[in-house]
Chain A
Amino acid sequence: MDIRPEILVLVLACALVTVLPRVLPLVVLARVQLPALVMDWLRYVPLSVLAALLTLELMGTGLAGLIAIAAALAIAWASGSLLGTVVAGVALFRLLA
């Protein structure tokens, strides 16, 4: 039930190296006007990071995962509902896997 000292130190160290990249740009860059080119580049970051994360996830899930994600993409496109996409995707993966 207790927190071991070595685990406490480990979690705090992990949190520190996580918090810095999370917080610093928000605090610093919200103060300055970025060049238009940088703003345009930043606009593509969400799509880009999602494509990378999804690709990496899918490379470990096999055929069932690929089918379920293909369906999830179609459902998301048709419905525009994130919630419906997650529920349907998980249910389909459960059926197939």
Chain B
Amino acid sequence: MSAATFRSGARAGLPVVLGYLGIGIAAGVVERSAGLSYAEVLLLSTVLYAGSAQFVVASMLTLGNPAPAIVATVFLLNLRHLLLSAALAPALRKVPAWKNALIGLQLTDETFVVASGRSTLTAAWMAGLNLAAWSTWAAANLLGAALSGAAGDTRALAFALPCMFAGLLVLQAKAVQERWVLFAVLGVSAAVAGVLRLVSPGPQAIILSTVLGATAGLFAAQWTSAPKSSS
């Protein structure tokens, strides 16, 4: 494993940077079309810094939703970060609380998965990863805003998001030794997400699927493995 420096963290973030370029441009186009100024696009992408939530804000603004409804939706949508933040915490036990707070500010699905593959993390490595992703995201949003008049089809660019999820999923899956545990987590989470999407679409689908999928993995691990020494 390479040294956990700022530089190596930023380098580990390269795939995320590339993905964010595509998705960020798409987000900028959508935000500008929703009537946001360049300054507002910059504010949104640097301060909120949450891809799916920004798409939701833009579309709800376009539809004329009141601010409290938008804030409530963003809250539900981003509540999943509770799980991600909690999952990252054990690897950052040696880091001072104020640094962990700064690291948490820039936690996203993608940077989380890149980081969660490592057993111990340093604040510098996390800062490199986070700042590379965050600055790319803001720049891509602005670029998208500038292109919004000229941009034709941003669907292909936005497809970087599911591609990134797919790549991250495979990298995570390779790290799981027990096949049945893997099937349980993926199967239950995907099935619950799919059913919820059809029955009652909304931000709660991600949270519920994640909780049930992880719990299924836990049960599968308990059932399949012989009594194992803890941790």
Contacts and interface: CB of A to CB of B under 8 A. Distances in A.
Given A11-B43, A22-B85, A42-B87, A54 B165 contact: yes
Contacts of B84: 22, 45-46, 49
A96 B91 CA distance: 41
Given A42-B87, A47-B172, A12 B166 contact: no
A48 B159 contact: no
Contact of B182 (A9, A47, A68, A80): A47
A17 B163 contact: no
Contacts of B47: 11-12, 15
Given A14-B74, A23-B101, A54-B169, A47 B53 contact: no
Interface residues of B, number: 97
A39 B231 CA distance: 8
Contacts of B104: 19, 22-27
A82 B166 CA distance: 9
Interface of A: 1-4, 6-15, 17-19, 21-31, 34, 36-37, 39-59, 61, 65, 68-69, 72-73, 76-77, 80-83, 85-90, 93-94, 97
